[in-house]
Each structure stands twice: as C-alpha cells, then as structure tokens.
Structure 1
Amino acid sequence: MPLLARTVNTPLAIEVRRGAVADLGPLLADRRISAGGDVAVVVGPGQGERIVELCRPSLGSADVFTVVGGSLDSANELGDQLRRRNYDAVVGIGGGKTIDTAKYAATRYGIPMVTVATSLANDGIASPVASLTHEGGKGSYGVHIPIAVMVDLDFVENGPDRQTQAGIGDAVSNLSACADWELAHQVRGEPIDGLAVTLARTGAEALINHPGKITDDGFLTTLAEALILGGISMSICGSSRPASGGDHEISHAIDRLFPGTGSHGEQAGVGALFCTFLRGDLERFGQLARCLHRHGLPTGPAGLGLTDEQFAEAVEFAPRTRPDRYTVLEHLAMSPTEIRERLADYAGAIRDHLG
C-alpha cells in the first residue's frame, strides 16, 4: 500500500538553556549552517555590547549590526546592508523587535535566519511572521521560519518579568485560538490542520499545567517550548490560525483604539479568557483564569488599564481587525448591549473562580 506523508518546515536545531549565546559559533558549525562564522549578527541597542562580547570569540568573521528594531524602515535598512556581502546566515539576537527586524531582512534577500532569543515575550521567536510598524500602523509580514532557534535562559532570567508574563499570555491564548478554529470548522466547514492544532495546544497545555514560577528554569523552558511550538504550528499550516483567534482580534482592536495600553501578550491573555467564557467552557475558563492570576497577569479590563466600557468597545470592533477570520466573536455577533451584559457576567465569573 502507498505511504502517504507530507514534508513540513521546522528548524534544524532548537536549544533552550543557559549559556546559549556563548556557544553560538559551535552550534552553527555543528549544524553546517556556517563553518567559518561568516554571519551577520543583528542585535538591539539594549544588551547588544554584552551579547557581542560573549559570542565574538566563536564568530571571528561575523559582522555586527545594531538596529533599533520593530519598524519596516529599520528592516529595509538592515536588508540594504546585508546585500553588501555574502553571508551564510543572519543571526538575530535579542527580543521580539530585533528578531522580527532580522527575520524580515533575511527573508527579503533569501538568507537563512537563526534566532537567539533573550526574552520570551511572544511566539515570534520561531514563527513565519514578522510584526513591524509602518506609517499606517502595524502590519504582519510573512517570512521564512528560522533555520535554528536558541533561547538563552541567562538573559531571560535577567530581563523584565513583564516580558516573560507577556509570553505566558501569548502562549496560553493558543488554547482559545484552536477552539475558535474548531468552531469555524464545525460551523463553516473551514479546513483544519490537526498537526498544527496538536502542536499549538500541546505547548499551551504543558504551560498551563506547569506548577513552577517564572523564576524556575523548568518553567521557563516549558514557556520557551510552548512559544516555539506555536510558531512551528503556524509554519505547518501556512496561517496564524492555531495561534490567533478572537483573543488576538481583541488585542489588535485594543492596539487600534487604545494604543499603548498593555503588552500584546497581556491583551491576548485577557482576550483568550473572555472568549473562553463566551464559548461557555467553564472548566477551561477556570484553568486559564488561575494560570494568568498565578503568574501575575491581568484577568480583566482594569488590569490592562481599560475601563469596562473601553474593553466592550474593543470587543465590538475586534471582528473588523480580521474580516476573513471566523471566531466566537463572529459566531455570536453580539450587539453593544449584549457585549456589556456578557462582560458583567464575565466579571462575576472571575470573582467566583479567583475569590
């Protein structure tokens, strides 16, 4: 009988540990990404000098570029610099803005990309998407998935707790995103990719059930793996579907209507919790609420710096941020009055579950 299978794109190497930055050169050589260290190292302005000092001994032939990341302009400027020499790979070292800038520039010129994450604020460390600002706001751009992913827990530990907390919110929101995808499959017959769902949900489940704290290596490793699996799940299905549902629609709406309010992960976490409540899955709702609360993330509008009225306005606007996406928000098609009524019920449910 014929053997049916498919080929999926995943990183050649994934390492989550302390001291990853210092061992960057050997990893590139061992994986045959760059034997001589002929790479472009891209760092942000924050910890850039310290990072360069750590990896310079093993990357003597590297060029170092410091970028103020996060914008389409900075990504294009970096791309113009990269084309002046033939590089084996682009190595983006830092947080989400630096990595997204490097991913976009590397993809533009067809150069393999290596991610070395020093924070765990979102799933961009391994995703085929770069989120960059431009004159019209903020956009998501398709890019190549990194050829290797490293997470240095020394830097993660020494970074702001709020970045790690944001990563927790982004990772566990995959549970709501997958539920929305299954809803679209049931109601509209939208094709669903079981492998993508499995990866996204498995990482989030491991995180939500982990007993550790953000100061524990075991918990940070589980968080990193959940974010990486979320990124790979998007690469497998060619869509952000397994990691972006009504939860992210709400986050995008908050960004549009009330910019600078909360971090992306915090907003996605609250959005996931509210969407789970709307679906009537009280068991999952309780799990999510306790997880967010235990790790110091907001569980309601006030924790994001929003009034109930502002949050209700964001929920009403949310479907307009992704007109092609069907989630519980589109399914219920709530009126402004219904949104406010459900939000009042939601606040009561939070009190019941958290005391």
Structure 2
Amino acid sequence: MNAKIESIQSTIDTLLTRFDAKVDTKVAIVQPGALKNAAEVLRSNLPLDRPWLVAVDQNTWEAAGKDLAAGLDAAGVAWERWDVPLVDGETEPFCDDERVEACQKELGKGFGAGVAVGSGTINDVVKLAAHRLNLPMACVATAPSMNGFTSGIAAVLSEGVKTTVPCTAPKVVIADLDVLAEAPQRMIQSGLGDLLSKPVSNADWALSAMLIGSVHSKEALEVIEKGSDMLNDVAPRLPLKDREAVAGLTGSLILSGIAMSVAGSSSPASGGEHLISHYIDMTGHAFDLPCDFHGCQVGVGTLTTAFLYEKFRTLDPAGIDVDALVAAHKPWDEFERWLEEVFGPLFEAVSKHAKAGYPTQDELRARLTVVKERWAELMEAIKPGLRTSGSIEAELREAGCPVRYAELNVDEGRASDAIKLSKNIRNRYTILHLAAELGVLDGWADEAMERFYR
C-alpha cells in the first residue's frame, strides 16, 4: 500500500478518535478499492433491523451505486434504490427544501438508515432528511468535489437563499480513490477550489472573533492545518488522475469537515468567498442563469477576497474617520428599502439574514474603533495562513481550475453584484462586511473585477 495514502488514512483515524465526542463520523476510509469492502463496513456500522434507502442519481449509480448494490446483496443487506428527483428540466438534482422533504418522506416509510451515493447534493439531501428522522446515514463518495462529507451541516437552497442547516454528519464515509480519480475533472477542480479558500476564510474567522466576538477554536485550526499539509504538491497531479494526489485532496476535504464539527460551525472553512458562490447559486436558481460547481465558484471568490485583504492591509488606520463612517451609516429601514431594490424577488428571503447582521450606529462605532485603535493586533490575528491572491491563483491554475468569473459563465454585472451584495445573504462577518463598513467595498470590488473577471 502507498505510504502516503496510509499516512493520510492514519491521520484521519487519529483525528476521528481524538474528537469522537464532537464528530458524528466514526469511520472514514480513503483507499484505492475501498468500494469492494464498503458493504461489510456499512453492515458493521448501520442498523440491520430495517432496510436501507440507497439514494443516487443516474451518474452516481453508474459510478459506484451498482457495485455497492452488488456488495449489499452479497452481504445479505436489505436495501431499496431511490433516485433524487429532478425538476424543471434539470439534468442533475439540486439540494433544496423540496428534495430534502421528498427524501424525508421516503425514509419515513420504514427504512432504518440512509446511504447517500454521491457527493455534495446527494450527501446533503440524505443527511438532513435522516437527521430530521433521527436515523443514521452513510456516504459513499463519487467525487472529491466538496468538504461536506464529515461536516455537521447541509448546504440547502431554502426559500431562495443558499444557507447551511445543522444536521448529523454521516456515520461512515467510504471514499474509493479509484472511483474518485475517475470523476469529471471539473468536480475534482471544485474540491481543490473549496479547500484553497481556507487562508481567507480563516482570516475572516479571526476578523469576526476580534470585531464581533464570535467563537474561535484553536483545535479546529489545528485540524485545518493538517488538512492543508495534505495538499502539498497535489494540484499539478490532479489532472493526471494520480491516486496519491486524489488521496491528499480527499483527506483534506474530510479534515475540513471534521474541523467544522469540532468548531461547531462552518466558519473554519467558509467566509466571504463562500458568500460570493452562494450569491451566484441563488441568482442562478431564481433567474435561470448559469452556475458552475460550488467549489469552482469558491475558488474565484477566494481570489477576490484575498485581493480585498491585500487592499485592507495597505490602509493607514489613522485615515479611518470613524465619526464620518458612523454618520453615513443608513438606519435599517432605509437600508432595507435599498435591499428591496437590488434583490427584487429575492428580497423577502434575504432580508431576515441581512437584518440579523446589520449593525446599529453604536455597534458600528465600537468595531471601527477596534479596527483603528488595535490595528497591529488585528493584523497579527488575520496574518497566520493568509496567502496572496497571486499564489492561490498559481495553485488553482496548476490543477486547471477556473480563475476568472467569465470562466464560470457568470456575466460581468452578476459577478460584480456577487462581490458587492453577497454580504447581505448570510449573518456571518467577513472582509466583505468590513470593507462595506469602511466605505470601500464598491471601489475595491470594481478593482477586483478588472483583475478577475476576464
């Protein structure tokens, strides 16, 4: 067995044991040929008193579902296939309220567990539905495309807004490297794009902890760092379907999910760059506009927010006029009217999230005063791990990932709006929020568009 892959597996096993009390996942196997033993592993970890619901789509059924089904039959496990429904001419399913409710209804017909055969969408649909019924579930991965395998959240389009919902993570994750390496390259690129957001999402997390007092976890950061180590020299080998490189990517994705569970939130792995991607998703769904894979959008969003941090770090704190910024701060009622203008039919879904994160003048004054008077401390807090946009872009390019909004098939106006407006769709403090409160977001967004649109 490859020593590097064994080391990755050992790290995963060690962390699952160490954080057993905080992490729902008990077994995560990242090995070539893991699918051959999947039925026995699942049989040892899921209840056998009732049949299992095996959730698939046509692609994941071909990639891993058929082989898993044969293994379950040979192991004497009762199961039934359930295809996640397609709506409105979709070619692939989407995780939204309706699909989760459909899965919940199906699981409620006497099944004892759910098994998601897939990655982001199918995993999220099944784990949230199973959580609502207090049933265990497992995931048989088909692509290393996102970091939600071991996370205690599901990404759901709810009432028109892409949001994260707490839930129970899979009890077992099976990641067969031979299956994952054959996934479409765009999905593999998505996984890398999702992971390379960590330098800026962790800076956002530190920013939030210092300016609004959000909880920060050194243990979760330690897990993230171990995952980052697994990515060393991985990017240029991913297009070659190199199993060791795919193992590094997959192991890092699994550790990212563990870090979220340890932290009790998605903050270690999701900041302003994810809001940009979520804005693209929600407008795409609402107005029938193109979207790319979530992680590919996150990668370009990461370049943007890394650039914003570069701009922020060049500011002279003495030039921050707190009184003027507070005086210019719109009262919520006025800001709400503006939100209705710019979000149109999405306003009702967005407004409650925006309101939860909108500061009063006193709150704004307090945090801008911290920025101005504790500048050196703030710089020290966001510095660890923060990378330049140029270094992140170079690594994305090595794997063939998109690095421009135009490569995501997102038009210029929508891309600009994603940078300027996405802070309003989630109550999470990021560099997007701080730049807006400093009165510089629109200008910096225009500069980012010049660099990262085409």
TM-score of the aligned structures, taking structure 1 as reference length: 0.86
> What is aligned with 2:101?
76
Q: Distance in 2 between matches of 1:242 and 1:251?
A: 17
Q: Whole-Å Cα distance in 2 between the matches of residues 166 and 253 of structure 1?
A: 17
Relative to its length, the structure with more helix (as a share) is: 2
The 2-side partners of 1:257 and 1:200 are apart by 30
Taking the aligned partners of 2:168 and 2:130, their CA distance within structure 1 comes to 8
**Residues 152, 316 of structure 1: alpha-carbon distance in 2 compared, 3 angstrom cutoff:** same
Candidates 400, 405, 427, aligned match of 1:296: 400
> Are 2:203 and 1:99 aligned?
no
The 3-state SS of whatever aligns with 1:141 is strand
Alignment partner of 1:182 is 2:206: yes
Q: Using the alignment, how far apart are the partners of 2:424 and 2:200 within structure 1?
A: 19
Which residue in the other structure is 2:56 paired with? 43
Cα distance, 1:213–1:79 mapped onto 2, change above 3 Å: same
Correspondence list, 1:273-352, <5 A: 273-280=303-310, 283-322=387-426, 324-333=427-436, 334-344=440-450, 346=451
Stretches of structure 2 lacking an aligned partner (at least 5 in a row): 1-18, 85-92, 311-382
Q: How does 1:102-141 map to 2 (within 5 A)?
A: 102-133=126-157, 136=160, 138-141=162-165
SS at match of 1:291: helix
1:222 corresponds to: 248
From the CA coordinates, give the structure whose radius of gyration is larger. Answer: 2
Cα RMSD of the aligned pairs, angstroms, is 2.7
Q: Equivalents in 2 of 1:335, 1:284: separation in Å?
A: 19
Distance 1:61 1:81 in 2: 18
Shift of 1:246: 0.8
Q: Does 1:238 align with 2:251?
A: no
Deviations 1:57-82, CA, capped at 9 Å, x for gaps: 44233212222243332332222232
Partner of 2:36: 22
User: What CA distance in whole angstroms lies between the structure 2 residues aligned with 1:151 and 1:103?
Assistant: 17
Alignment of 1:152-231 (within 5 A): 152-207=176-231, 209-210=233-234, 212-214=236-238, 215-231=241-257
Q: Output one character per residue of 1:229-279: Cα deviation in whole Å (capped at 9) or x when no partner.
A: 111111112211111101011112222345423221111111111111221
Question: Which piece of structure 1 moves more, 92-101 or 63-72?
Answer: 63-72
Task: Give distance in 2, aligned partners of 1:306 and 1:75.
Answer: 27
SS of residue paired to 1:22? helix
Which of 107, 114, 119 is matched with 1:90 structurally?
Answer: 114
Kept in 1, the 8 Å contact 2:53–2:111? The answer is no
Which amino acid in the other structure matches residue 85 of structure 1?
Answer: G
**Aligned-residue offset at 1:316:** 0.6
Gapped regions of structure 1 (runs ≥ 5): none
- Relative to structure 1, is the Cα distance of residues 186 and 50 closer, same or farther in structure 2, using a 3 angstrom cutoff? closer
Q: Deviations over 1:166-225 (max 9, x none)?
A: 111011112211111112223333321111222224313432543651111111111111
2:156 aligned counterpart, secondary structure: strand
Mark the CA change 1:41 to 1:286 in structure 2 (over 3 Å): closer, same or farther. same
Shifted more, 277-286 versus 164-173: the winner is: 277-286
Instruction: Tell whether the 8 Å contact from 2:235 to 2:395 is kept in structure 1 after alignment.
Output: no
Change in CA separation of 1:278 and 1:202 when aligned onto 2, cut-off 3 Å: farther
State how far apart, in whole Å, the 2-side matches of 1:101 and 1:179 are. Answer: 30
Does residue 263 of the first structure (1) align with residue 293 of the second (2)? yes
Deviations 1:130-166 (A, max 9, x none): 2234563544322101111111222222221111111
Contact 1:120-1:163 within 8 A present in 2 as well: yes
1:208–1:287 Cα contact (<8 Å) kept: no
Tell me which residue corresponds to 2:16.
Answer: none
Given that 1:67 and 1:74 are in contact with CA atoms closer than 8 Å, whether structure 2 keeps it comes out as: no
Q: Distance in 2 between matches of 1:16 and 1:32?
A: 17
Tell me which amino acid in the other structure corresponds to 2:265.
Answer: S
Distance 1:266 1:230 in 2: 17
Q: Note the alpha carbon deviations across 1:79-100, whole angstroms, 9 max, x for none.
A: 223233252x321112322211
Deviates more, 1:208-217 or 1:264-273: 208-217
Deviation at 1:6, TM superposition (A): 9.4
Once the 2 structures are TM-superposed, how far is the Cα of residue 307 of structure 1 from its aligned partner?
A: 4.7
| Aligned CA distance change for structure 1 residues 110 and 332 (closer, same or farther; 3 Å) | same
Inter-partner Cα distance in structure 2 for 1:342 and 1:315: 9
Is 2:255 aligned against 1:149?
A: no
Give the secondary-structure state (helix, strand or coil) at the position aligned to 1:14: strand
Letter of the structure 1 residue corresponding to residue 144 of structure 2: L
Partners of 1:174 and 1:241 in 2: how far apart? Answer: 10
Percent of counterpart pairs with the same letter?
29
Contact kept, 8 Å, 1:250 with 1:314, in 2: the verdict is yes
User: Residue 26 of structure 2 aligns to which amino acid in structure 1?
Assistant: L
8 Å contact from structure 1 (residues 115, 126) kept in 2: no
- The answer to whether the 8 Å contact 1:116/1:151 transfers is yes
